Amino acid sequence: MHRRIFQLATVFLWLALPLVALQYRQVWDQLPAHVATHFNAAGQANGWMSREQAIRFGVGFMALLLAIFTPILFYMNRRRTDAFSWAMLIFCALVLGFMIEVNRGIVNYNLHGTSALPATMLLALPIALLLLIAIYIASRREPALPSSGSLATDLLAEETHSGRIFTLLILPAIVGPAIAAALVPVPALRLSMVVAGLIGFATIAAAWSGFHYRFLRHGVEIRALGFRLRSIPRQQIQSYAPESWSACRGYGIRGIGKTRAYVWGNKVVHIKTSTGDVFLGHSDPERIVRDLDMVTGIVTRG
């Protein structure tokens, strides 16, 4: 039942196409021959299109978004309709709603000279992105491992895998929004830049402190910034071995479906579990293997 509702909600997203077209068609004869469609940070027009080009671009860009969102949502629904699936559906609806508001703002600007920037949505989108990330982490981390009540008793080993060199690459994620927040005169846009900067700061902090692996009597915990990202129960571990990691596969938290990677370098330990594959990055993979040997009770690998 829930999957059917999810599918119908995904199909309803396509109503955004005729809504955008209707925004232009209702006032078609009132629009100028050349429509202002691009604006600077102060909300002043600095780019124009013909009416025909404006409606084609508005509808075409919306169609592109829907063509991206729809297969992702149907894929997620086919696997399982969980809290993150619904959160992703709501986020896609917010993005489409934002674009509807952008086109409404363009029409109103050309008719009445009012602001074309959807102030509320500018702030809502980055906040929604933060919530989406939080729900994703919470829904994918698995239940906490059994505990005796004493970490000293349960803990077999602990390792850290950081990506401090990557903080230099992520730094523009803070500098750019900070400069924009200082220069942009629109309050809502300034606040959205602050939220974007906070996301960048959190990413830098996570890369600097790294992934923390706890090897416990009942399994493995993966943490970042003190938060538990993932638990791997001992009974789910089937095999593990060192592997190389290609830069084209990306860094940080990676993976879709049943595959998940926590990596900041080019060396990993590939853990095959009964629920999917997990990759733990580390500069010395053999240390991770020895720690896993203690968890699984294997003294030497065969």
Tokens of 271: 């853990």
Confidence of residue 298 (pLDDT cuts 50, 70, 90): low
Its CATH class, for the domain covering 147-162+210-302, is mainly beta
Domain ranges in the chain are 2-140, 147-162+210-302, 164-209
Residue pLDDT, tens place only, 76-120: 887 666 788 899 999 999 999 989 988 998 999 999 887 766 666
Buried b (16+ CB within 10 A) or exposed e, 14-46: eebbebbbebbeeeeeebeeebbbebeeebebe
Confidence of residue 56 (pLDDT cuts 50, 70, 90): very high
> pLDDT category, 31, cuts 50, 70, 90?
very high
Average pLDDT along the chain = 86
Per-residue pLDDT reduced to its tens digit, 174-197: 777 777 667 766 666 677 777 777
**pLDDT over 50 at 302, yes or no:** no
What is the pLDDT, as a whole number, of residue 293? 95
**Tens-digit pLDDT profile for residues 238-263:** 999 999 999 899 899 888 768 899 99
Beta bridge partners of 262: 253, 280
Q: CA 1 from chain center: how many Å?
A: 27
Phi, psi of 265 (to 5 degrees): -140, -160
pTM: 0.69
Sequence-ordered list of residues with C-beta below 8 angstroms from that of 78, at least 6 positions apart, any chain: none
Residues whose CB is less than 8 angstroms from the CB of residue 251 and which lie 6 or more positions away in sequence, other chains included:
163, 166, 263, 264, 265
